[in-house]
Homo-oligomer: A and B are copies of this chain.
């Protein structure tokens, strides 16, 4: 029912709100950046989303998804992530290249096709980048993960990675980092902006810049 454009806006609002958890409002400027559109365009479109009760709009302050908008966003996200996993698992595409394909297919797949994919993969709960696949009714549990860039030295397990940048994803897999990988943060120098990681079974330490580390979410492991 909603147009691809509408779906993309709702998804973007959801993603930005989730980015830094519990932000009450998403600012329109952030949306303009995320969607690569001019600010005026965003204002216009948000007005229209508000009229359709998909968002709550407070001029000059920001937007928030309504219950209806949130549900809609989750459905698109479900499609997006199930498609990404399907492309990797079934079609044997690389995890670095599936995001863009999913971005288009999420607006075109039927419920039937989606159900077949779901069944074929055994009702998976996470996409190739470690993001949870939303389910029809159920809520998504608030992510207990932290950004790798914010975390003190210690042991961690890689949980989720930002899927937008193919180069970054290629580097990750080449370095042996993907969802599930365990490693220790051995040092974190804010002045140089470099963290050192010791991968489980990895010989040398792996340096990673703070910028890149912001795109990785980890789960703390006990220091056993």
The residues of A with any CB-CB pair to B shorter than 8 Å are 87, 90-93, 97, 100-101, 104-105, 107-110, 112-113, 116-117, 120
Contact = CB atoms under 8 A, between A and B. Distances in A.
A108 B104 contact: yes
Copies of this chain per assembly: 2
A91 B110 contact: no
Closest 5 CB pairs of A and B: A108-B108, A104-B108, A91-B116, A101-B110, A105-B108
A97 B108 CA distance: 15
Contacts of A108: 104-105, 107-108
A51 B123 CA distance: 49
Contact of A93 (B90, B91, B92, B116): B116
Given A100-B110, A110-B100, A92 B105 contact: no
A114 B126 CA distance: 24
Count chain B CB atoms within 10 A of each CB in A91, A100, A101 and give the residue with the most: A91
Contact of A113 (B101, B110, B113, B120): B101
B93 A101 contact: no
15 contacts: A91-B113, A91-B120, A92-B116, A93-B112, A93-B113, A93-B116, A101-B109, A101-B110, A101-B112, A101-B113, A104-B108, A104-B110, A105-B113, A107-B108, A108-B108
Contacts of A116: 91-93
Given A90-B90, A97-B112, A101-B113, 9 more contacts: A91-B113, A91-B116, A91-B120, A93-B113, A101-B110, A104-B108, A104-B110, A105-B105, A107-B108
Contacts of A112: 93, 97, 101
A8 B105 CA distance: 17
A112 to B, nearest CB: 7
Contacts of A91: 113, 116-117, 120
Given A91-B120, A120-B91, A109 B113 contact: no
